[in-house]
Structure 1
Amino acid sequence: MIQDQQKLTKDLLSLIPNVVREMPPISASETDCLVSTTLCLYDPTWPKSSDDTKISCGPRGNTGTEEKENSLMKLKLLSNEGRQEEEQYGVSTELTLFTDPWTIKKKLTISDRSRQNCLLLNPRSVHSHIVRYLPEVSQKMVQEGSGLTVDVYDHNTHTTHQMLLTKLTRRGSYVLSGGWLMDFVIRRALKTKDEIGMYWDLSDSKLHFCVLSRAPTRVSSGSVLAVPSQAPIEVSSGSVLAGQSQAPIEISSGSVLESPSQAPIKVSSGSVLAGQSQAPIEISSGSVLASPSQAPIEVSSGSVLAGPSQAPIEVSSGSVLAGPSQAPIGVSSGFVTIASYSPLLADP
């Protein structure tokens, strides 16, 4: 029985290929091993014809770069063809992360703010984004007739206005008229180089309007400043200040001040003060004061005072006082006092 088992074992070993019996141990290097661990998409022992391209399992070299360049060239050709087709039909197929709704943009010119009462628009933009979406009857009214009345919605003020969209036959441009000057230029205080945006809404057949940006402003001598300020303001000669200040204001000669102030105000010669002050005001010669004051006011020669005061007022020679005061007033020779006195000077 034992002899039979040994014989069977020998027979089985004889069936095992020589490759398995001669296989080196696992610790041996891969170069000495007859089995490769390299992954490949084909077996080199497979039959192949002479026309088959050579397939390599190693690095591909510059073939990948060449294929990328070829694919990019194809994309460029397709993009150029696509752009030509888009320009022909007026449709864009480009994918973007954000689509600007204001398809018609313009920086206002001097003529747009003139008394001609019309806004000149680019003919290509108007035709691509407005006219082509109108019914045929409306298109004829815009291009050949007396114009089409359209509703214009102002996104900044949430108001709706009506204007006339027409085409100039001579120049070929489109204009918006009939209320442009009053409803937009004057009402919105539009200035030259202000950028506006518009787009046509297909859902409600309405033109949408928005002021995208304002032109930068500079304040120099002879300018008009109409803003409140929280810091000291220095205004040069010939300027007009129409705002509120929480800090001292110094105004040179020839200025006009029309604002309440919470801090001392010094006004030099030739100035006009028409506001309210919570602190002492010193006005030199030739000035005009037309405001109530909560603190002492000193007015030098040639000044005019027109306003109530809650504190003593000292007026020098040549001044005119026109206002009630709640405190004693010292007036020297040559003054004209136009006020009633209660207890010293009452309200007129």
Structure 2
Amino acid sequence: MRVDLFDFDLPEERIALRPALPRESARLLHVPPEGALEDRHVGDLPSILRAGDVLVFNDTKVIPARLNGERRREGLPEGQGVAQIEATLHMRLDAGRWKAFLRPAKRVSEGDRIIFHGENGSTLAANVEERGEGGETTLRFECSGPDLDAAIALVGHLPLPPYIASKRPEDEQDRADYQTIYARHEGAVAAPTAGLHFTPALFEAIRATGVTFEYVTLHVGAGTFLPVKADDTSAHKMHQEFGTIDPETAARLAAARDEGRRIVAVGTTSLRVLESAAASGRIEPFHAATDIFITPGYRFRAVDALLTNFHLPRSTLFMLVSAFSGLQRMQDAYAHAIETGYRFYSYGDACLLERPKAET
């Protein structure tokens, strides 16, 4: 499909730079399969969800994955062979290696050594093992395992999305705001932002209605922020992200679908790992990397409803929601959201999309 079909005009003032407080006070656009759109709030979810629904959350935890440092080349005169480098880690390969996006990538070659610096005087060294396309690089760090995790925590910065980071610096408030209350498995470069709206009080209110909760993991990569540069969706390459659904969770989710209960994905990240695990038509245990790319025409196998924030024009995530609810339906929903003052992106408002039962 042509990528320009997923374009729309978004006024800059619609981009949220801070979340709503309290979190559940964010606005919620309810998009049923047909009929009128409904303007609600996230705190209304207990009255919108149905008894028996299964909410599926992504319990990944954001790490301080943005590193600033210097590329150093040995054997050159003092002051030469040094270049300032920014790295954004996006997928762990093993105990000591990460895939990362480097800027400016043209200043880095295989075999180069990079020293990353923290504000507290700490350092972390890595060697460039392999260069890929679009600035993607494999870094081999000089420590590994828990030692590497601790070093990244000291040296790294919170990787706020570019559309926020370009307007203001990261601060201490972001360390709480840009993390879900149920985050537990470290490895994400970006927050599963639909989950940022939930509070303990909202959890309790939803559970009281007969809705159950399940947790899956997808370590969100920096590729989620990359623009689609191709003219056609068939030419766009998705970057891999690592996901996990344990056997017990997969069995409960499969049983819920057999019983006719709705699977409600909290965020596109939850949806992507669920759909990756349901390639056979049934949700199965999953522990692998996925580069699933969902565009209109995709047949959903696992998810009946989706809670998600509002996404970038021409993004893979707007393509995903257009596949879920229909391109025209989402164009109309986004036009309504822009006209009525909804806030967009990671710290913005949310929408609840429901698919017709006949299509599940």
For normalisation by structure 2, the TM-score amounts to 0.19
Question: Which of 1 and 2 has greater Rg?
Answer: 1
Structure holding more helix per residue: 2
For normalisation by structure 1, the TM-score amounts to 0.20
